[in-house]
Structure 1
Amino acid sequence: MSIDRLVMAFAGSFVLISLALAHWHSPNWLWFTAFVGANLVQASFGGFCPLAIILKKLGLNRVARFDGLSQSAGSLPDGDSAVFCSA
């Protein structure tokens, strides 16, 4: 699994877990949901993603696997990279 997919899996899991905790424990857990969302937004514009950096240092694969988005090995039609949030 690529870093891109791991970041999305972690973010999705954290959002779902924090929503469940907000429902059954305390509404203050929604602040964690907001933090995850804000981090995803800033990562999409700035390219800085702490989790991607940690996963890269752990030696995980950094190749993007968004086959539906890319025409050839990680490039979009306008020349941008298809890599999400990997620094």
Structure 2
Amino acid sequence: MRLEAMLRLIAGTMLLLSIALSYFVHSNWVWLSVFISANLIQSAFSNWCPMITLLKNLGVKE
């Protein structure tokens, strides 16, 4: 799996997980969704995402 596809998979999975946790466990889990969304927005402007750096270090191909 390529880097962009892996990033989208991780971001989408984490968002769905945090929404489910905020619904079923505790409403404060919504802050994880806010953090992920803010990170996606900042990466659109800065062209840098911490998850991409991590995935590159783990050897995921571009």
TM-score category by the smaller chain?
over 0.9
TM-score when scaled to structure 1? 0.69
Structure 1 residue ranges, 4+ long, deviating more than 2 angstroms after superposition: none
Indicate the structure whose relative CO is greater, using CA pairs within 8 Å and at least 6 residues apart: 2
Structure exhibiting the larger radius of gyration computed from Cα positions: 1
Summarize deviations over 1:2-55 as a string: whole Å, max 9, x none.
111111110100000000000011000000000000000101110111110011
Q: Which residue of 1 is the match for residue 51 of structure 2?
A: 51
**Structure with the higher helix share, 1 or 2:** 2
Q: Percent identity over the alignment?
A: 35
**SS of alignment partner, residue 48 of structure 1:** coil
Aligned-CA RMSD value:
0.7
Q: Which residue is 2:30 aligned to?
A: 30
- Normalised by the length of structure 2, the TM-score is 0.94
Gaps of 5+ in 2: none
Task: List alignment gaps of at least 5 residues for structure 1.
Answer: 63-87
